[in-house]
Structure 1
Amino acid sequence: MPRILAIDYGQKRTGIAVTDEMQIIASGLTTVPTHTLIDFLKNYFEKEKVEAVLIGEPKQMNGQPSQSASIIKGFATHFSNIFPEMKVVRVDERFTSKMAFQTMIDSGLNKKQRQNKALIDEISATILLQDYLRQK
């Protein structure tokens, strides 16, 4: 069975998570500099079968798009143009960064480790993916 990949897109870096082949468990894959994201994905898609890509959809508390929504929408369009055969699912990403930070605290990471923004992005992507799997 193909994997599902989740992207927590950011202007500087992007967190990526992926399921196992049975689509049961979401795991953090990596965080990449955003300017290398498309090349990373091309390489990954050559090696692994991926059924769908989740892209976070940032919203405010009232459900309206956040300031970064237009940037991420632009990326989603660009992604679909480069990978037209790939199913794209937009998912609400409210609170994922806060949940990622709390996960780091709960895991016992010290203050210096919790300042690793790349790790926060990767954990955020994992939370997006795990929530999607739970709802599926």
Structure 2
Amino acid sequence: MGNIMTTILAIDYGQKKIGLAVGQMITQTAQPLDVIFIKGDFWLKINKIFKEWQPAAVVIGEPKLADDTPHPLEKLIESFIFELKKRYNVKIYRENEAFTSFEASQYHTGANYNKPVDAHAAAIILESWMRANHA
């Protein structure tokens, strides 16, 4: 990543919906963005987000099972990643997302209550990735 002002998009992929967050490399912080339901032409919404934020890279949560067997969602995530690369020619990184939904649900109170949990999970995934890769 050359530019420290680089915008990174994070995705928490689920079976019915995906949580989105954006972050800046310079501040190493992420903010929840939106949740998109995987139905109809949800790629139109993703196009809009790519156009608005122009991310230099995408970080996608990598679900892990306790016994290290592949997560049931992994095949869906892999085809989603393939499609992202094809459409946007963007660099994709994976980040272990163990505990992010729990962390996000803890955050999902008070002033943050109306913001979707999946978007918070994406923000946590992104901040975790930024800490690990660009400390």
So what's the TM-score if we normalise by structure 1? 0.81
124-133 or 31-40: bigger deviation: 31-40
RMSD over aligned Cα, in angstroms?
2.1
Aligned to 2:52: 47
**1:132 pairs with 126, 129, 132, which one?**
129
So what's the TM-score if we normalise by structure 2? 0.81
Aligned to 2:16: 12
Q: Residue type of the partner of 1:65?
A: P
Residues 32-111 of structure 1: matches in 2 within 5 Å?
Answer: 32-35=36-39, 36-83=41-88, 85-104=89-108, 107-108=109-110
Shift of 1:37: 3.8
1:28 corresponds to 2:32: yes
Q: Residue type of the partner of 2:62?
A: E
- Structure 1 residue runs of 5 or longer lacking an equivalent are none
Would you say the 8 A contact 2:28–2:131 is kept in 1? Answer: no
**Corresponding residue SS for 1:31:** strand
Shift of 1:73: 1.4
The percentage of counterpart residues that share the same residue type is 32
